[in-house]
Structure 1
Amino acid sequence: MDKYKDLDHQFINGRWKEGTGKKQIEVVNPYTQEQVTTFKSAGTEDIDEAYRAAYEAQKEWAAVNAFERARIIEEASLIMERRRDELVQLLIEEAGSTFIKANVEVDFCIAITKHSASFPFENESQVPPSIVPGKRNEVLRKPLGVVGVIGPFNFPMYLAMRSVSPALATGNGVVLKPDSQTAITGGTLLGKIFEEAGAPKGILNVVVPDITEIGDAFVEHPIPRMISFTGSTGVGKHIGEIAGRTVKKAVLELGGNNPFVVLEDADIEKAVEGAAFGKYMHSGQICMAVNRIIVHQDIYEEFTNQFLELSKKIKAGDPKDPTTLIGPLINQKAVQRILGEVEQAKSEGAEVLLEGSVDGNVMTPFVLKGTNDMATAKHEMFGPVVTIIPAKDEADALRIANDTQYGLSGSVHSSNYEKAFSFAQRMETGMVHINDQSVNDEPLVAFGGEKNSGLGRFGGHWSLDEFTTFQWISVQEERRRYPFEK
């Protein structure tokens, strides 16, 4: 099987072309610092052309037989299965994904696409009874029209695919804008997959602009009826403001400050293993990653000693090595930001239990003891840095867990299921995992956050609802009597 080509071009209306922008976008391997490729940036003309192509193609796509639409979406999942090795390699090279994480990401992409292939058969109508004599009501589920998707750099392929697949499957046209650091795996690669699967031209378009050149043009464009964004809370709020002003739907999956709570009756060994995986997977560059570990004071010392020992053994370095859990951070700016947060926490009184090191963009674990008031606990680290916080009792642990502007994911460990479930229900997060870690995602389950962690839900029928709208059509089958005389 030939490898994909033209991955350094814009994909608009079924054509692979250079952008009309003025910037050169350089994509760099985060581990080796070698250039992967360069793009000629997309300009506002390209964005307009992409949205117009999606608008025109969507009219026909929505009318395509459900079995044919489902076949194309299913074929995209089969292509990913056949091309797994190629996709994994691209994720390692461009996103700095470890071999472990890249395979997990491809699995997620296949799963969400397979599930989305069922959506063409779920555009059902309902016939609610009417209070008006002789009236027949019908409520139709319909596609929104055109969806703009903005993806991040950390899980670039999956966090784009979880919007692209259901949006296409429900009959929408799509314009995808990946993070420029992962323009291939988060963007043009998806264009290639659906092109190979037989998607009609114009139904999926991929543009790779320089944000300093286009500003808010991607979100402000009048054609898209929805913007699906995954990224930082600050940018998400800005997109939400634009969506409100231009009367667009916005689905926003934003930042997290995820608590990992260990109650006094927890299995400490299992909790330590879960905390380490949930913190260090993909170098902590996951919105669901453990950011704070909150431990009952009676078991604090035992838990912390075991966690430190395991943290020292976690392998960091070359992402191609199948045994590496911590690969590179996305760039040197991220490294310096995190080091700055650690220094700030130190100045605020945090105790460094394990001092990490830096080699290029690879950072080994930093473990601190502190409180919610310290920088590393207050802010989302997005790196291999964690703050362990002692709690007096269960009520104190819950207070600490909820004392944040975020509410994406979290976990609680206890040997008492009923107590853990009660605790989980009182956590102000969209997702809680009992006796597991916070990094979980499944195609049939509602995924999303509360508070400043976002709006909307991905997965299962929740995705179906997000990417569709409803139309009420009524038929007055008998002459209606109005309150006036002729």
Structure 2
Amino acid sequence: MADEAAQTLYIDGKWRAADDGGEFPVHDPSTGDVIGYASNGGRAESEDAIAAAAAAFEEWAGKTPYQRAAILSEAHAIMLERREELAQLMTLEQGKPLKASRNEVTYASDFLSWFAEEAKRISGVTIPSARADQRFVTMRQPVGVIAAITPWNYPISMITRKLGPALAAGCTSVLKPANQTPLCAVAVLRVFEDAGVPPGVINMITSKRSSEVGDAFLDSSDVRKLTFTGSTGVGKMLTARAGATLKRVSVELGGHAPFIVFPDADPVRAAKGAALVKFLNAGQACISPNRIYVHRSIYDAFLTTLQERVAALRIGKGDQDGVTIGPLIDDAATAKMVEQVEDARSKGARVLVGGERVTVDGLTGKNFYSPTVLADVTRDMVISHEETFGPIAAVTPFDDEDEVIRLANDTEYGLAAYVYTNDLSTAIRVTEKLRFGMVGVNDINPTSAAAPFGGIKSSGLGREGGYEGINEYLDTKLIGIAI
């Protein structure tokens, strides 16, 4: 326990401790060292936060879009001013290399800028009536109090991707960040606080008592929307329970992205792209390729380049120069890598690079797993069906287009997919047949604050970012006028 109770709950504009003084340690995944403490809020504190958000709603919703946009623009400016400070904290708490953390802070700030402008574009329409003495008009209004649950793998940008549009729309909110990365969330809320967000408009509960917080969110009739990013299992449970109070729901869940390289593609370029996106954030990204399908005619050339690129990756603590792969978030994540590789190896996969847990000189952390390339992966291997969320590239040869489309779509998930080809017809034909919410064609980063992000099937409901992102926080009201 710390000497004084942590005060990381933010309720009605005040930082406070949990009612019982409870707290939990926050660890550096590179070393296992305790780097701070967070308040361990529960149901009572969550209900206080919901009440504060409900009380603040009418005044915040009543502000003009330009007033809300001005605050979001100020938050954008402050976040960029604090970019280095936020990035250093993210690397310490989450583990990703410092360069990646800096990029994430910039990405996070983009959502504030984008939705500051989208606030000004909320509009309705006029609709002709069959009656000469009647007119129809629609208006868009905020849904009310929203509850947001964010993940640890992108601990800053996932907050702004949810709270940015909520603020722009006129909603008030209660945030529950991941218990692995609460300090990043505290830093983000201080940005909002310093930008002038009024008390009660944003509230936060840090907690390891996730079920208590979730129950408060789900049971409350004041919470009119739930937005969640995390595992598919939890997302399905939250979505089902939200039906009891008919809350609006948007969930961004797991993925099992296929990465398809057709015979006309440049195997070297494709392999370089695969290495970049597969090992981003040590593979801890929902859009990370889980299954790499390469046409047999260029299979060996692709593997040669991929093997060279992956072997050159450097593992270590994220703030060390030249490090490109940080630790996995915890021991359970690392153990999953061991299990998937051993299963694949036992069923005939070739381990071309890596394939083992590693220790890093001078660090006591046990969450490092070597960047790995598996060749000749088959459908009976666990990695072909179970999301990896780690630094393992699983490669499979294919012979024809119909076969690879069947393989790619053979998953409950439907978030991202990737296609490498130099033929426009192939790109269009295959993209239309892939059952995924996003497809990168010769592009490993099909994301932006200005573009809709989200999946289908077990990968989620709704979209974040783009003009669709703010629609998730708005209701349509119809007005019929007799004249």
Q: Give TM-score, length-normalised by structure 1.
A: 0.94
Gaps of 5+ in 1: 1-5, 478-486
2:53 alignment partner in structure 1: 54
CA distance in 1 between counterparts of 2:467 and 2:234 reads 27
In the alignment, is residue 124 of structure 1 matched against residue 130 of structure 2?
Answer: no
Shift, 1:23, TM fit: 4.3
The residue identity in structure 1 corresponding to 2:369 is: M
2:227 match = 228
| Other-structure match for 2:414 | 407
- Secondary structure at 1:53's aligned position in 2? helix
**Secondary structure, aligned partner of 1:180:** coil
CA offsets per residue over residues 404-444 of structure 1, 9 Å max, x none? 1111111111111221222112111101111122x432011
CA contact (8 A) 1:368 1:388 kept: yes
Instruction: Give the distance between the partners of 1:306 and 1:205, measured in 2 at CA.
Output: 48
Where in structure 1 do 4 or more consecutive aligned residues deviate above 3 Å? Answer: none
Q: Distance in 1 between matches of 2:82 and 2:278?
A: 29
State yes or no: 1:367 paired with 2:367.
Answer: no
- Give the corresponding residue for 1:421: 428
Give secondary structure in 2 for the equivalent of 1:196.
helix
Which residue does the alignment assign to 1:323?
Answer: 322
Correspondence for 1:463 among 469, 473, 476 = 469
2:165 maps to what in 1?
Answer: 166
Q: C-alpha offsets along residues 170-226 of structure 1, whole Å, 9 cap, x if unaligned? A: 1000100000100121x2222111100001100000101223661633333221111
Work out which of the residue numbers 206, 222, 226 in structure 2 matches 1:208. Answer: 206
Q: Tell me how far 1:243 sits from its aligned partner.
A: 1.2
1:153-185 Cα offsets, whole Å, 9 max, x none, are 000111121010110111000100000100121
Alignment-derived partner of residue 296 in structure 1: 295
CA deviations over 1:268-288 (Å, ceiling 9, x no partner)? 111011000111111000000
Q: For the Cα contact (< 8 Å) 2:405–2:434, is it kept in 1? A: yes
User: Which whole-Å CA distance do the structure 2 matches of 1:322 and 1:290 have between them?
Assistant: 26
Instruction: Show the counterpart of 1:351.
Output: 350
TM-score normalised by structure 2 residue count: 0.94
> Distance between the aligned counterparts of 1:385 and 1:12, measured in 2?
41
User: Number of residue pairs matched?
Assistant: 470
**What whole-Å deviation, never above 9, does each CA across 1:325-366 have from its counterpart, x for those lacking one?**
210101112111221122222333333222333222121112
Alignment of 1:259-338 (within 5 A): 259-338=258-337
Contact between 1:376 and 1:385, CA under 8 Å: does it hold in 2? no
Quote how far apart the aligned CAs of 1:236 are: 0.5
Cross-structure match for 2:362: none
Say whether the 8 Å CA contact 1:446–1:460 is kept in structure 2: yes
Q: Which is worse superposed, 59-68 or 230-239?
A: 59-68
Gaps of 5+ in 2: 360-365
Q: Does the CA contact (< 8 Å) of 2:141 and 2:474 recur in 1?
A: yes
Greater CA drift, 43-52 or 71-80 = 43-52
SS of equivalent to 1:299? helix
The equivalent residue for 1:3 is none
SS of the residue 1:362 aligns to? coil
Deviation (angstroms), 1:371? 1.5
* Stretch of structure 1 that moved more, 246-255 or 218-227: 218-227
**Offset at residue 7 of structure 1 (A):** 8.2
Change (3 A) 1:147 1:213: closer
AA of the residue aligned to 2:387: E
Shift of 1:133: 3.2
C-alpha separation in 2, matches of 1:21 and 1:169: 35
Percent of residue pairs identical = 35
Q: Is the CA contact 2:255–2:414 (under 8 Å) kept in the aligned structure 1?
A: yes
Q: Does 1:136 align with 2:135?
A: yes
Matches within 5 A, 1:87-98: 87-98=86-97
Can you list the C-alpha shifts for 1:33-69, whole angstroms capped at 9, x where unaligned?
1111112311211101111111111110111122221
Aligned residue type for 1:201 = P
8 Å contact from structure 1 (residues 23, 210) kept in 2: no
1:113 is aligned to 112
Question: Which stretch shifts more, 116-125 or 148-157?
Answer: 116-125
The alignment partner of 2:197 has SS state of coil
Cα deviation for residue 138 of structure 1 reads 1.4
Aligned mates of 1:161, 1:221 — CA distance in 2? 24
Q: Name 1:430's counterpart in structure 2.
A: 437
Cα separation, 2, equivalents of 1:110 and 1:427: 31
Residue equivalent to 2:151: 152
1: CA distance, partners of 2:434 / 2:346: 30
Q: Note if contact 2:6-2:37 (Cα within 8 Å) is conserved in structure 1.
A: no
Structure 1 counterpart SS, 2:279: helix
CA distance 1:277–1:237, change in 2 (3 Å) = same
Deviation at 1:447, TM superposition (A): 0.8
- Residue in structure 2 matching 1:446, options 438, 444, 452: 452
What is the aligned partner in structure 1 of residue 191 from structure 2?
Answer: 193
Supply the distance in 1 between the matched residues of 2:6 and 2:452 (Cα, whole angstroms). Answer: 32
**Preserved CA contact (<8 Å) 1:69 1:120:** yes
Deviates more, 1:206-215 or 1:254-263: 206-215
Q: Is the 8 A contact 2:145 2:173 kept in 1?
A: yes
What amino acid maps onto 2:372 in structure 1? F
Letter of the structure 1 residue corresponding to residue 454 of structure 2: G
Q: Report the AA paired with residue 461 of structure 2.
A: L
Could you list the per-position Cα deviations for residues 212-266 of structure 1 after superposition, in whole angstroms to 9, with x for gaps in the alignment?
A: 6616333332211111000010110001111122211110100000111110011
**What is the DSSP-based 3-state SS (H/G/I as helix, E as strand, rest coil) of the residue aligned with 1:131?**
coil
Q: Which amino acid aligns with 2:318?
A: P
Q: 1:80 deviation in Å?
A: 0.7
Q: For residue 460 of structure 1, what is the amino acid of its counterpart?
A: G
Letter in 2 for 1:428: R
Structure-2 separation of matches of 1:472 and 1:13: 33
